[in-house]
Structure 1
């Protein structure tokens, strides 16, 4: 049996309230009424609209449609297949005349009535969200409190949203795109069945100094011209703490210094990444007469042309 999307028929989202559904229905019925419409499919479209509103305009029928019809479609029929009912479809039917003539409507709601008497249960859907953390949280682990707005049906079957607050533990060693599973924190189940799970996708907040690839971290480190030319021991604040690093003599801007195992910490399944320090030559400003004179002297004595050979 092919699934019928009553929300699409009326052109409203699944979160639409009763007034929005009624307004959409009235607008479309006026447009496709056979007495005034010039559309070739006006009769069929009007029948479709009446059927959709007959369900979505009734709180109890809408709740049943959302509970069983949409859920079964998402689990079995989405992506090209038809509506596939559960194995006991067809047993224990009872009449449920809601004023619509389609086989889909009658069979769906007949099953809802019989399933409710037999204690029908269905696990809740999984939910997905994104949580943004600092790179330092991946090095040390952290605890965060998040607020989520989730849809649910009220006692009248209307879809409403409410805010949920959850305390989340960010484990040490998480990577960008990794999903944290919070069991039982997804959508509630039907008929006393278990709730779904909540999956939080990790996203790193943008930080100018860092770039992350998997577990490897790239950090820009400014150095003075004489440190790059002559070599120097410098101290650098890295995500894993302050470290003493040697800048080799004759270093150019963009040179990478690899610190093995100093990237995002490893887990049982994956080793720690590396930290790459990208040297960036920082020039002192020529903002005093003495500084300008020194730059002029360097220009004369070095005779250096950085574009030679280009």
Structure 2
């Protein structure tokens, strides 16, 4: 079965309005009508124009046809309807009185897509099609994952206007952010996608979760990493310090002779969930500046008494 480019047949762009499609069809119908044109091939061109108008002249059929795309990769040959096309689309017979040829002469392409099942059922019904699922990204703060939140998102979605053109319209969607949501997770909002056609159900909206960059915390799955600054004496002597977490401040014990880059684990302090993540404090030793005579004296005393060489284990 050959794919039919109905827009090319009528000589219009895919963005053409319904009025432009009607004018293009009437122009071709007058040119190739058998009563006024006896040239060979005129009758076939007349029927092709009538078939194209039977689809593009009907807003619902046109929308369904546009779902197929331009099919340039198939070169017009070997086309097959998408899976479940017949189950998800129902059409009435082509509109009469347009001055076109008998629809019984329409191509196999038309019959398979727009007449399949309608004659066998012996009924005329509106085309029904489920709306498409839509995908978007929502950027959250880390606190939203800890506590849950509600958001109202404004999205630009494609809709068909009265002239049969696709336009973008703003739509507000309320979404509840569940506690413990992870980056990369998809939140499904049933029925919030593209509207269905002919009474068909609306599609779903899938929101992919992303976290906004945070000056203190880094997220890895359900685990959280935070750089914890400590003074040299805290690292050397050990002790308890207070540090911030997304769930509030907590006390953490610094072991004696702690190293820069050492990770201290706080179990279950990561993102909440059935299996909560952990929080890792990555030690960062911060030296106080020697801006006073007393401070410089202390550093000089340390250099004499400790005989510490930080480059001792460097390989040559």
TM-score by structure 2 length?
0.70
Q: Residues 225 and 181 of structure 1: is their aligned pair in 2 closer, same or farther, counting only changes over 3 Å? A: same
Assess, with a 3 A threshold, how the Cα gap between structure 1 residues 234 and 87 changes in structure 2: closer, same or farther.
Answer: closer
In structure 2, the partner of 1:169 is 176
Structure 2 alignment gaps of length 5 or more: 22-44
- Residue in 1 aligned with 2:272? 265
Q: How far is 1:112 from its partner? A: 11
Distance (Å, rounded) in 1 between the aligned partners of 2:312 and 2:135: 56
Shift of 1:186: 0.4
CA distance in 1, matches of 2:147, 2:62: 47
1:229-274 Cα offsets, whole Å, 9 max, x none, are 10011111101111011111110111111111111111xxx31111
* Residue matched to 1:274: 278
Deviations 1:25-54 (A, max 9, x none): xxxxxxxxxxxxxxxxxxxxxx9xx98xx6
Structure 2: how far apart are the matches of 1:113 and 1:133? 48
1:140 aligned partner: 147
Could you say which residue in structure 2 is the equivalent of 1:86? 86
What's the counterpart of residue 293 of structure 1? 297
Q: How much does 1:125 deviate?
A: 0.9
Quick one: which of 218, 226, 246 aligns to 2:225? 218
- Distance in 1 separating the partners of 2:8 and 2:224: 46
Segment drifting more, 298-307 vs 156-165: 298-307
Q: Which of the residues 207, 210, 226 maps onto 1:203? A: 210
Supply the distance in 2 between the matched residues of 1:195 and 1:90 (Cα, whole angstroms).
16
TM-score (normalizing by structure 1) = 0.72
Over aligned residues, Cα RMSD in angstroms?
4.2
Equivalences for residues 98-109 of structure 1 within 5 A:
103-104=108-109, 108=113
> Structure 1 regions of 5+ residues with no counterpart?
23-46
Contact map agreement 2:271 2:277 (CA 8 A) in 1 = yes
Displacement after TM superposition at 1:94 (Å) = 4.5
Equivalent pairs counted in the alignment come to 270
CA contact (8 A) 1:92 1:111 kept: no
Q: How do residues 39-58 of structure 1 correspond to structure 2 at under 5 angstroms?
A: none
Question: How far apart are 1:110 and its partner, in Å?
Answer: 5.5
Contact 1:69 1:108 (8 Å CA) reproduced = no
Are 1:70 and 2:74 matched, yes or no?
A: no
* 1:292 Cα deviation from its structure 2 partner: 3.0
- Partner residue of 1:160 out of 146, 164, 167: 167
CA apart distance, 1:2: 5.5
For residues 3 and 301 of structure 1, what CA distance do their matches in structure 2 show?
Answer: 88
State the 1:65 CA deviation.
Answer: 2.6
Is the 8 Å Cα contact of residues 89 and 111 (structure 1) preserved in structure 2? Answer: no
Q: How many Å apart are 1:305 and its aligned residue?
A: 1.6
List per-residue Cα deviations over 1:75-116 (Å, max 9, x = no partner). xx9xx9832441699997548859xx9653576455699899
Tell me how far apart the structure 2 counterparts of residues 7 and 207 of structure 1 sit (CA, whole Å). 51
Q: Retained in 2: the 8 A contact 1:173–1:265? A: yes
Per-residue deviation at 1:297?
Answer: 2.9
